Amino acid sequence: MISQRLVFALFSLVCASRLMAGEFFEVNGAALGGYDPVAYFEVERPVKGLQAFSHRYKESLFLFSTAENQQKFAADPAKYAPQYGGFCALGTANGYKVKTEPDAFKVVGGKLYFNYNRKVLELWKQDEAGYIKRANENWPEVSKQPMKE
C-alpha cells in the first residue's frame, strides 16, 4: 500500500511542475524543447538553444543559440514566439492541444507555426489559411485545455 506521505510528495511534485510551466509547449522545462525560436526565422531550421542564452517570457524559459538571437527575442518576443503556444496548429484548428516536433514548422505571414509532426504539417499546408483562421478562433478555449498525450 502506498503511504500517505508518498502520495502527498508525488502530488506536490506534479503541482510544482505545473506551477513552473508557462504558456508555451515545454520539454524538460524549456519552451519549444529548448530550440531557438529566432533561428526559425533567421536560418529556417531548428537550432538547439543554450542555457547561457535564455529569456523568460510569459512564465516560459526560452533558449537561444546566440546572444544576438536572445537580444532580438527580448526586444520583441511577440514577433518570434510561436502561435498557439507552440502547440500543434492543426490540432488547435480541430479543437485540441497536442505536442509538436521541432522540425514540423512553417513561418507564414511573419508568424511561427508548429505541428505534431512532418506528416501533420503536410496536411496543414493543404489549407494553411483555413486552418489558421479556425485555430485563431479556437485558441482562446483550446489554450485552457490540458495537453493531450
Q: List pLDDT tens digits, range 74-128.
A: 999 999 999 999 999 999 999 999 999 999 999 999 999 999 999 999 999 999 9
Q: Which residue has the higher pLDDT, 14 or 86?
A: 86
Query: Which pLDDT band, with edges at 50, 70 and 90, does 21 fall under?
Result: low
Residue type, 90: L
Are 90 and 63 in a shared domain? no
Range 5-25 average pLDDT: 48
Q: With beta carbons less than 8 A apart as the criterion, state whether 127 and 115 touch.
A: no
Range 38-49 average pLDDT: 98
Beta bridge partners of 50: 64
Q: Is residue 10 part of a domain?
A: no
Residue type, 117: N
- Cα–Cα distance, 54 to 15 (Å, whole number): 24
Q: With beta carbons less than 8 A apart as the criterion, state whether 97 and 68 touch.
A: no
pTM, two decimals, is 0.85
Are 96 and 59 in a shared domain? no
Are 75 and 119 in a shared domain? no
**What nine digits make up the cell of 104?**
514540423
Q: Residue 148 belongs to what domain range?
A: 82-149
Are 65 and 100 in a shared domain? no
- Cα–Cα distance, 32 to 65 (Å, whole number): 13
Confidence at residue 149, expressed as pLDDT on a 0 to 100 scale: 75
Domain final residue, candidates 46, 64, 80: 80
Q: Is residue 6 part of a domain?
A: no
Confidence at residue 19, expressed as pLDDT on a 0 to 100 scale: 37
- Cα–Cα distance, 78 to 117 (Å, whole number): 24
Are 120 and 70 in a shared domain? no
Q: 98 φ, ψ to 5°?
A: -135, 165
